[in-house]
Chain A
Amino acid sequence: MLQAVVETKALRMSTVVKAVCVGSVILGLAGCVSGTGGYRPPVEDRTEQGGVIQPAESTSTGVMVRPAVVSEGRTEQQVSVPVPTPMTSRPQNPAVIALLKSADQQKSSGSMQAAESSLERAQRIAPRDPEIYYQWADIRRLEGQWSQAEQLALKGTNMAIGDAIMLRRLWLLIADIRSGVGDSAGAKQAKNKAFSY
């Protein structure tokens, strides 16, 4: 009668999540070492990542504290910009892996809203993880929201710069999306782009 709340439906989903996560903790424990001398401002540098074990989060959310020398009378030469090179693997936080996994399961079972909620949670934790945008774009594609699907995939490519494998997947997805709306020229372009990686 009363609408008063808080059901405790129990652990159905969270047990799955847990199981997945425990396994993925180990996978997720890869991290970054950062820091070379001198002030290097604007460009994300992925050349020095990987190899050293650290809690995953420090990379996936992009915290990189670099030693830098800044003083009032600084000369312009100190602003130097390194040129990033492609990276091969991207460490993920176990929480993000778990959320991606549930999103995938929710997607396969047709619960698109729940899947989107999981991806939104993952995005808040690791907004620079292109996998999230890949999954998200795919959901929008399945829902027939073509232009949103493409935009999300494009956002993914923006986050995946330097990650050839991810870029190829994303551009193939974009090709799929474009074929979906009958844009065969655009699809072909995207496919070519994919195979350039």
Chain B
Amino acid sequence: MAKKRAPKSSSRGRSSKKPRSFLKKILFLLLKISLLGLVLGGIGLIYLDMQVKNKFEGKRWALPAKVYARPLELYAGQVLDRAALKQELKGLGYRFVNRADRPGMVEWASSRARVHTRGFSFPDSDEPPRKLMLNFSGNQLMSIRDERGKNVSLSRLEPILIGGIYPKDNEDRDLIRLDQAPEALLSALIQIEDREYYNHFGISLKGIARAMVVNVKAGRFIQGGSTLTQQLIKNFYLTSDRTLARKLMELPMAVLLDFHYSKDEILEAYLNEVYLGQAGSRAVHGFGLASQYYFAQPINELKLHQVALLAGLVKGPSYYDPRRHPKRAKGRRDLVLKVLQEQGVISMKARLDAEKRPLGIVKQRSLHKGAYPAYLDLVKRQLREEYPEEVLNSEGLRVFTSLNPTVQTHSESALATTVTALQKRYGKPVKELQGGMVVTDPQTGEVLALVGGRNARYQGFNRALDAQRSIGSLVKPAVYLAGLEAGYTLATLLDDQPVSVPLPNGKSWVPQNFDHVSHGKVPYFRALAKSYNQSTAQLGMSIGLDRVIDMLQRLGISRKPKPYPSLLLGAESMSPFEIATVYQTIAANGFRAPMRAIRLVTDSEGVELSRYPFDVKQVVSAENMHLIQYALQAVTREGTGRSVYNRLPAGLNVAGKTGTSNDQRDSWFAGFAGDRMAVVWLGLDDNGKLPFTGSGGALKVWTELMVKEQPHSFMSVQPEGIEYYWIEESTGLLSAEQCEGVRQLPFIKGTAPQDYAECADNKQNESVDWFKRWFR
């Protein structure tokens, strides 16, 4: 039809009709385009709408697992170092004030402290916020009273948050609810960022117009006139490129979001989404985390001047970084305060008061989060055996660990100060001296502290877990324990004579003593206390390597060492953590329990997901443990470890073993008091030689730790099957108290020597048991 008509019309009035039909065509085209646009736009809108709703209603953020230190228990009668309590409270962000009238505050006096706790929802029970009056006498907590003066038998502080397990983008946040945000923060945000927030419909035309003017003036796109809603859209849904296309997406999405959700819901999401700083590789998102990151306090405890600073940071967390640019930050904060006052939100007096306050930012180093990389490393390794990575870094799990921040601090400083002193003394050869430490509670098997290197904050090679080093004489207790099981007694005389063991390759193994002297006949316990190599080799070869390997495995070594004779003197390489399992079992009287860093894992709601239970297994009889513990105390009282008593009080019983590897490349000490077991390794990462032995290096670190820790005394309990006898050391025969060169030694019933030494006459030859009973 068109074809037919066309020639007609063209013949009739070409000049007059042509423009009209052209216009019509254009209009028609435009109509089509706009129809298409409408359809496409509609589809686009529906798509955007879906996006907006899905993300807002789904799981909004990947929440890193939170890892907590052990909560500090408080109870009457407790030995509690006041400095340690203060440190704990500071770590929790408590404010030291004159009147502790709100949670998170403490009044500190010389012999008492009033602590207003915040309370915490523990997996086993809720610890309510309480006002506690703590009364001290010296370093003992004598009583705890609540606000009505009633005695409180037991209370727990909140656990310190020590870290998290972050997703790849390294976003970290602590979610808060709107009602947790201080009123002033909300007002400040609205006054500074988006005054019309509660009136506009997601976008502000006024704002956009203002931004346009700026952009036109500048000749490029620099300002977006964003509402809070738009800012949320920008960060939450879109990439951070400043393109017009993104801007065009942002506008409809902001309107849609505003249409679907209440202003408060959007504001709450904003509070948790906004980027507020950078902690190393970790991006600090949301006001909940920012409050902890800058002030080490929960958001609801912040004061006006702090709140104003956080609100001001939104504009440029890096430009106004209060740690790097305190002046700029203060200027920004004061501007926020000024606006608040001008808008009538706060009084002039409040503004002036707040302006006078310093920024009050905590030192980044004082934050506990990220302060314990070595321990967190251990926690993560244990968690990864059970949970996939995406669960760990997105489900908001809560991980309760055994880390004791006080012990950890003591360990780190014991290592650092000793290493510095050794470097001062020995100079260049130990310039790169390194170390690793593992500290446990012997009875619970909990890992209290872990140090991975001399710079404990450095997240690098974790020597406590990964340094595989020859354990040297640390192996000897296993050898002597195996010997005791094979029928030796503490009084048996060992031959400390040159020994030569032929090896399969035709060579011979000829161990030397450290002092290159053979000591002849030596009582069993003393050969261990003095760490003689030749007598140990003799003993080990006579009982057989299999018994020693079996003993090491029973004590806690999970792999099977190769049966080389050099095993007897500790040629085997182990990490400090691995050898710690052995000493942990010895310290726990022969009851092996897993060394636990994690107590419990719960989901974000506090529902228990996994528990790491105290599972014990008796692997050595109580009697044999009693004997080896006796010998290990001889190490510290009179053997290679006796220098501990240069610094420790004589009444404090400790036991342990020094270790020095071949050619003096490793300096070890493993030992325990009543409630602390610690393994220390010192050495060079390149395996170079050291100018000192186990007692000259690692033992000093260990001693320093115990001086700081003031542990309970170790008390070996005498099992029923043990009897003590006076023994003449030179012959190993029964003797009597009045004789020279004698000592009381424990024996398993029926294994004491039968014969008497010359000195002893019949009357004194009685068993001590009988003797004492008779006189009671």
Contact = CB atoms under 8 A, between A and B. Distances in A.
A62 B175 contact: no
Contact of B768 (A3, A20, A41, A83): A83
B743 interface: yes
Contacts of A116: 611, 613
A43 B638 CA distance: 17
B147 to A, nearest CB: 13
A58 B77 contact: yes
Given A10-B128, A161-B718, A57 B76 contact: yes
Interface string A45-69: 0000000000111101111111111
A17 interface: yes
B591 A69 contact: no
A41 B717 contact: no
Contacts of A128: 443
A58 B155 CA distance: 19
B177 A2 contact: yes
B515 to A, nearest CB: 18
Interface string B538-571: 0000000000000000000000000000000000
A93 B124 contact: no
Given A14-B127, A128-B443, A42 B599 contact: no
A21 B616 contact: no
A55 B140 contact: yes
A70 B120 contact: no
Interface in A155-179: 155, 158-159, 161-162
Interface string A72-108: 0010110111011000000001110111000000000
B638 A74 contact: yes
Interface string B598-612: 011000110010010
A23 B649 CA distance: 37
B51 to A, nearest CB: 19
B223 interface: no
B254 interface: no
B719 A161 contact: yes
A7 B154 contact: no
B724 interface: yes
Nearest to A152: B616
Given A3-B175, A95-B75, A127-B444, A21 B125 contact: no
A164 to B, nearest CB: 11
B125 A95 contact: no
A84 B718 contact: yes
B618 A155 contact: yes
A25 interface: yes
A72 to B, nearest CB: 8
Contact of A114 (B125, B142, B176, B591): B125
B713 A79 contact: no
Given A57-B79, A76-B729, A94-B75, A17 B153 contact: yes
Contact of A61 (B79, B125, B617, B718): B79
A123 B443 contact: yes
Contacts of A148: 613, 615-616
Contact of B121 (A3, A7, A69, A155): A7
A63 B713 contact: yes
A142 B427 CA distance: 62
Contact of B272 (A2, A6, A120): A2
Interface in B283-305: 288
A42 B79 contact: no
B709 interface: no
B138 to A, nearest CB: 11
Interface string B147-160: 00011111000000
Nearest to A84: B718
A57 B77 contact: yes
A21 B153 contact: yes
A28 to B, nearest CB: 8
A161 B717 contact: yes
Contacts of B629: 42
B651 A65 contact: yes
B126 interface: yes
B73 interface: yes
B714 interface: yes
B697 to A, nearest CB: 21
Contacts of B87: none
B176 A4 contact: yes
B622 interface: yes
Of B150, B152, B717, most buried by chain A (CB within 10 Å of CB) is B717
Nearest to B599: A120
Given A10-B126, A14-B128, A74-B638, A22 B73 contact: no
A92 to B, nearest CB: 10
B150 A22 contact: yes
A154 interface: yes
A67 B73 CA distance: 30
A42 B630 contact: yes
Contacts of B441: 124, 127
- Most interface-central of A39, A84, A124 (chain B CB within 10 A): A124
A9 B276 CA distance: 32
Contact of A79 (B63, B120, B154, B638): B638
B744 interface: yes
A133 B79 CA distance: 23
A95, A113, A128 interface centre (most CB from chain B within 10 Å): A95
Contacts of A84: 717-718
Contacts of B712: 61-63
Contacts of A114: 124-125
Contacts of B714: 42
A124 B177 CA distance: 35
B193 interface: no
B720 interface: yes
Contacts of B150: 18, 22
Contacts of A70: 637, 645, 650
Nearest to A159: B717
A125 B73 CA distance: 9
B183 interface: no
B633 interface: yes
A155 B174 CA distance: 42
A79 to B, nearest CB: 6
A127 B175 contact: no
B151 A21 contact: yes
Contacts of B63: 3
B180 interface: yes
B653 interface: yes
Interface in A8-50: 8-14, 17-18, 20-22, 24-25, 28, 39, 41-44
B365 to A, nearest CB: 27
Contacts of B129: 8
A188 interface: no
A77 B79 CA distance: 33
A117 interface: yes
Nearest to A122: B154
A64 B772 CA distance: 23
Contacts of B180: 4
18 contacts: A2-B175, A4-B180, A7-B121, A14-B125, A14-B128, A21-B151, A22-B150, A43-B716, A44-B717, A56-B76, A57-B75, A76-B743, A83-B724, A118-B124, A154-B616, A154-B618, A158-B590, A162-B717
Q: Which 6 A-B pairs have the closest CB atoms?
A: A57-B77, A21-B153, A127-B443, A95-B75, A44-B715, A117-B124
Given A4-B175, A10-B128, 10 more contacts: A3-B604, A25-B151, A39-B650, A41-B653, A61-B675, A66-B713, A80-B743, A94-B75, A95-B73, A123-B614
